[in-house]
Amino acid sequence: MSAVASPPPVTYDYDSAERGSPARRELVELIRYRDLLRQLVSRNIKVRYKRSILGVAWSVLSPLLTMVVLSLVFAALFRTTVPDYPLYLFPGLLAWSFFAQTTSIMAVDLIGGADFWKRIYVPRTAFGIASALTGLVHLGLALVPVAGLLVFYHRMPGWSLLTLPLAAANLAMFTIGVGFVVSALARYFPDVIDLYQVVLTAWLYFTPVIYPASIIGERYRRLFAVNPVSLLVDGIRAPLYDGVMSRSIGVATVVALATLATGWWVFTRSADELPYKV
């Protein structure tokens, strides 16, 4: 009897008792489901414009019109401090809108995806990442008219333009990180999403988007310097408006990576409890 070798161990594809890192497991699954990401992004974009005549043109038009309205209101105020005010306002506003809208929508889309993930296994980060990628597509489209503004104001962008993709990646990583934290909170307390809108309003006034950083008094510079969104907005705006790369792009990259990692960790750690809550 003792000569009988023990049977080969049976391997299971899924074991609920497996105690790996949820953050790592989720990443592996998300890569496996990358085609799902594609489909979700394409659904988001198609559905948004399905019933409009202008279609995707709205992605270009709608922020452009917002910019025109804000320019009319604030151009007079900042005429002396900020030359070519619309060109200053537009890239910053786009970066800010991407951040504000994506972080809000991520939580909503996660809850909205409950129809799926309550019935079948789907990596739960897929919905948030898909919202962010959708936002990036809209951001890219909305940046097109900036070329027109550059021509209009006779500005020649330099090599610093090459830092734009990195700046956009930083903005996206930071946004996804914050979005995951908001999502993680929102599934325990539904009113977090409403509360977050108030936070966003305050956050916008705290970020040099509509006004130039130069009008911040010496006393408050320190306070404003800790706002990471300022760095990320500057990364997008500096190459387009100032024609130089953002001086804080290195710091912004570190902050973005750290925020993404934190958000990912917080979200995946509690993702297993999701079906119990929503």
Partner 1 sequence: MSFPTRSDAPVIAIDAVTVRYRVPRDPALTLKEYAIRRLTRRVSFREIDALDSVSVTVGEGEALAVIGPNGAGKTTLLRLVARVLTPTSGRVRVRGRVAPILDLVGGFHPELTGRENVYLNGTLLGLTRREIDSRLTGIVAFAELDGFIDAPVRMYSSGMVARLGFAIASDVDPDVLVIDEALGVGDERFQVKCAERLDRFRERGVTLVLVSHDMHSVRRLCTRALWIDRGHTQALGATGDVVDAYLAAQRTRR
* 220 binds partner 1 per the rule CB under 8 A: no
Binder of partner 1 out of 2, 19, 20, 47 (CB under 8 A): 47
CA 216 – CA 189 distance, rounded (Å): 36
CB of 105 to partner 1, least distance (A): 16
CA 255 – CA 232 distance, rounded (Å): 9
The phi and psi torsions of 246 (rounded to 5 degrees) equal: -60, 135
Which window, 63-71, 92-100, 112-120, 161-169, contacts partner 1 (CB under 8 A)?
112-120
Site for partner 1 in 135-194 (CB under 8 A): 188-192
Q: Which is nearer to partner 1, 25 or 155 (CB)?
A: 25
* 53 binds partner 1 per the rule CB under 8 A: no
CA 249 – CA 262 distance, rounded (Å): 20
CA 177 – CA 6 distance, rounded (Å): 47
CB of 112 to partner 1, least distance (A): 11
Q: Which is nearer to partner 1, 43 or 247 (CB)?
A: 43
Give the H/E segment covering residue 227. none
CB of 12 to partner 1, least distance (A): 4
Are 71 and 89 contacting, i.e. CB atoms less than 8 angstroms apart? yes
* 19 binds partner 1 per the rule CB under 8 A: no
Location of structure tokens 């970066």: 95
* 79 binds partner 1 per the rule CB under 8 A: no
* 16 binds partner 1 per the rule CB under 8 A: yes
Q: Which is nearer to partner 1, 7 or 217 (CB)?
A: 7
CA 206 – CA 102 distance, rounded (Å): 19
Q: Which is nearer to partner 1, 16 or 214 (CB)?
A: 16
Location of structure tokens 């401090």: 81
Give the H/E segment covering residue 272. none
Which window, 8-16, 57-65, 87-95, 209-217, contacts partner 1 (CB under 8 A)?
8-16
| Residue 22-41 contact track with partner 1, rule CB under 8 A, x = bound | ----------xx-xx-xxx-
Return the structure tokens found at 238.
């500096």
Ramachandran class of 154: left when φ > 0, alpha when ψ lies in -120 to 50, beta otherwise: left
* 196 binds partner 1 per the rule CB under 8 A: no
Are 96 and 229 contacting, i.e. CB atoms less than 8 angstroms apart? yes
Catalog residues that contact partner 1 under the rule CB under 8 A.
4-5, 7-8, 10-17, 32-33, 35-36, 38-40, 42-43, 46-47, 50-51, 115-122, 188-192, 195, 272, 275-276
